[in-house]
Amino acid sequence: MNNPHTNAIKQLEKVAKVLRPEYEDKRLFDKAINKLKKPDKIIEGTVRIKMDNGSTKIFKAFRSQHNNSVGPYKGGIRFHKNVSKEEVMALSTWMTWKCSVTGIPYGGAKGGVIVDPKKLSKTELERLSRAYARLIAPHIGPWVDVPAPDVNTTGEIMAWMVDEYEKTAKKRYKTLLENPVATFTGKPLLLGGSKGRTEATGLGGFYILEQLVKKLKLSPGETRIAIQGFGNVGYWFSHYAHAAGYKIVALSDSRGGVYNEKGLNPDKVLVCKQKGGTIGDCNCTDKSCSNKGTRITNVKLLELDVDILAPAALENVINIKNAKNVKAKVVLELANGPTTPEADEVLSKNRIIVIPDVLANAGGVTVSYFEWTQNLQGYYWEKELVLKRLKNLMDEAFLRMWDLKTKAKVTARVATYMSAVKKVVDTMILRGSI
């Protein structure tokens, strides 16, 4: 099985070889790269909660803080049965690059609990959330580490964590030294959340798509897109792409999907999924599900002959076993780490453009940054302003990458990482922290 942290290190080492000649002091550069290969700190522990039946259960929990040279650590919290120390280490590393790419003043972090939240009642889920907040409370804060939702966590869970963090801070300091609301992002609007946060990751990916299509001189109406993953990110990306005239030919969730060469309406597919529980279960013969599509597996979806393939679900879905079968012209990584380093080499040899996750899905953390800024100011923006500022940052990040890709004659991933890693290394050197 692929170790995600090993993959993250391989990506860093690859770009380091390209960057190293630019630095006069090679020893200092090497020292910075070696420091970036592991997180600054890993919080690892257990959380104990009382279940509804009176029993007690213990869950393993983590928080990885990768690097804070550019600003406070930033990253989500996931509740999933497959969470591991290696996974949060990798995700925290990618978060450092993601924040650097868009130019927001954060470093990377990630957290998680090994749990299947579907097996918990709502009251048990709240107890788990509060217990996790108490575990990490000494290590977070608006100028230290700013967590957010991730897989299987929500705005409501962030609200519970904010409340628990505030109680913990009051006990420790007897008074509040900071605004606890600014310690978490992805919160409900009533608790200081930002307008536009729900669709931010998928919409940010759409903004990248728009810039890419211009560079490749494609016509939206003739651009065929297949999307693996129909959660929040996959849905909003498909929604905006369809509204702009792109042809969504395939959509899938964890149990399979639907394909139609004439195009699918993702909003109607969502209605169908909500009725049947999964895209495949609706058979897509109902008029509510667009044009009588046919069932397709997730494996086959990745191998479709399309213009844009957007993996928006899990890590490592494009790997050494199936990379040679990918026929898309572009892979737009909306998920975190969907392509292994070995597969990336195959795609590059086959002249498939890969827009990396740290750029393609950076819309979420960008609007989280906006939320944090609004919390610190106590001044909130209208949705139109949030989305306008998101578009500006995503467009600028893409254009910087494309310009570097063209000048250095490297892949989009290498160009993205060159920009991100160089900024972090230069900041570390400027601070004198290495």
Residues known to be catalytic: 110
Please give the biggest Cα pair distance in the chain.
Answer: 65
Burial 5-23 (b: 16+ CB within 10 A, else e): bebbbebbebbbebbeeeb
Q: CA torsion 277→280→284→288, rounded to 10°?
A: 20
CB atoms under 10 Å from CB of 239, counted, come to 19
Under 8 Å CB-to-CB from 191, ≥6 apart: which residues? 158, 159, 162, 181
Helices (H), 217-265: 232-243
Give Cα separations from 406 to 222, 396, 398 (angstroms): 25, 15, 12
| Element of type H or E holding 189 | none
User: Residue 404's Cα: distance from chain center in Å?
Assistant: 23
Count H helices and E strands in the chain, helices first.
Answer: 14, 12
The residue type of 89 is M
Q: What distance in Å separates the CA atoms of residue 304 and residue 195, rounded to the nearest whole number?
A: 36
C-alpha dist (Å) from residue 45 to 351, 380, 419: 44, 36, 35
CA distance 25 to 162: 44
